[in-house]
Amino acid sequence: MPLRLVFLLKSAMGLGLQNIRRLLFPILCLLALPVVQGQSSDVKWLSFEQLEEALAAEPRRVLVDFYADWCAYCRKMDEAAFRDPEVVAALNSDFYAVRMNVETRDTIYFSGVEYVNREAGNKRNPVHEIPLLLATREGVPFTLPAVVLFDESFQIRSRFFEYISPESMRRILRESLSE
């Protein structure tokens, strides 16, 4: 038992029952914290390299979330939609989820092809080749947030170029599974 906890329990001995209850509740909450933290309530995000291996082993639908650190709506989706228990459960059980920072300078190998950020060093907000290939609309500049859904054969089924609320994300994932 941690030394601080022993000290707190010993000091509680001289307190009345009401005060012990007030002291005991926070202690029990602290003791339970590691158990609660052990339960994953996060989306199991994969890289493109990990996705390639996972698709080879077990084909599934895929959700790709493109973001940038400066994108306020991307952060809002991360805090709301991608923390929603139903969304997390659906993504972790029925999809492979990939998250990619569009400004990464990493070289990514996928399906035997090398992808790089050709705009790095040339533009203020450089966008990697992968999001440009998967989430660009003809005649429209690249925008964030961008979410792309693929079927089990890694064929694009739908693309979204806006903030997606938890309710909308649940609906989108349900509809994707029913196609």
pLDDT tens track for 101-115: 999 999 999 999 999
Cα–Cα distance between 20 and 41 in angstroms, integer? Answer: 33
**Can you tell me the distance from the alpha carbon of 100 to that of 48, in angstroms, rounded to the nearest whole number?**
8
Q: pLDDT for 31-67, tens place per residue?
A: 444 333 333 579 999 999 999 999 999 999 999 999 9
Note the helical H segments in the chain: 3-12, 17-38, 48-57, 72-79, 85-94, 129-134, 166-178
For residues 133 and 98, is the Cβ–Cβ distance under 8 A?
no
**For residue 24, is pLDDT > 60?**
no
CATH class of residue range 45-178: alpha beta
Higher-scoring residue by pLDDT: 171, 179:
171
SS3 call for 94: helix
d(CA 41, CA 49): 23
For the chain, the structural domain boundaries read: 3-38, 45-178
pLDDT at residue 16 is higher than 60: no
